[in-house]
Amino acid sequence: MRILWNPWRYNYIKQFSGNKEEERKECLFCKLQKMKDDEAYIVYRGKSAFVVLNAYPYNSGHLMITPYSHVPEPTFLNEESVLEIMLLVNKSLKALRKAFNPDGFNIGANIGRAAGAGVPDHFHIHVVPRWVGDTNFIAIIADTKPLPISLQESYEIIKKAWSEVE
């Protein structure tokens, strides 16, 4: 087996072993839920969770469903919250179909930093609309993802579609 050493990456890794209490003060989802809906791109506020448009989307219409509770994974939530989150995933699918008519979806949660979670201490589920041919050479050769619609316009279209689906 060959080993590729890259010790400079250790500086990146050790920055995440700091004070967890300080990280909580800076939690993105805790900040968003205190903001006005249109400023935070919050599509819907439920009893125990909310739906928000991702401001750094993989694709246009990329939504996230997150509980108000600052918990790292769904095992910390009661059954009522878990049920509401899954119902919001379903409604997100319906609203995104109505809004953008995607060919498919990616749905998932990254639990923990090792799994790729950008906000590892606040559980959330991603719902990403996908279209046949939505990847192209720019993403591959230039590490750039072109998005055909602004966040504001996406938000307005999704918010309208959300109110029209059950």
| Sheet with 63-67: strands ordered across | 42-45, 49-53, 63-67, 125-130, 104-108
Q: Is 144 in contact with 138 (CB distance < 8 Å)?
A: yes
Model confidence over 73-122: pLDDT tens digits?
A: 999 999 999 999 999 999 999 999 999 999 999 999 999 888 888 888 99
- 62-71, 86-95, 126-135, 153-162: range with lowest mean pLDDT: 126-135
Q: What angle do CA 131, 132, 135 make, to 5 degrees?
A: 85
Smallest Cα–Cα separation from 61: which of 24, 94, 25?
94
What pLDDT is stored for residue 16 in this prediction? 47
Q: Which residues are marked as active site? A: 124
Residue 23 has pLDDT above 50, yes or no: no
Residue 53 structure tokens: 């448009």
Which CATH number applies to 18-164? 3.30.428.10
pLDDT on residue 149: 84
From residue 117, alpha-carbon distances to 35, 72, 120, 134 in Å are 22, 10, 5, 23
Strand partners of residue 80: none
Average pLDDT, the chain: 85
As a whole number of Å, the end-to-end CA separation of the chain is 55
Rounded to whole angstroms, the Cα distance separating 146 from 87 reads 30
DSSP 46-99: -SSEEEEE-SS-SSTT-EEEEESS--SSGGGS-HHHHHHHHHHHHHHHHHHHHH
Structure-block tokens of residue 30 = 């805790």
Mind listing the pLDDT tens digit for each residue in 124-147?
999 999 998 776 555 555 566 667
Structure tokens at 160: 């309208």
Closest CA to 145 of 157, 162, 128, 159: 128
Return d(Cα 4, Cα 127) in angstroms, integer.
35
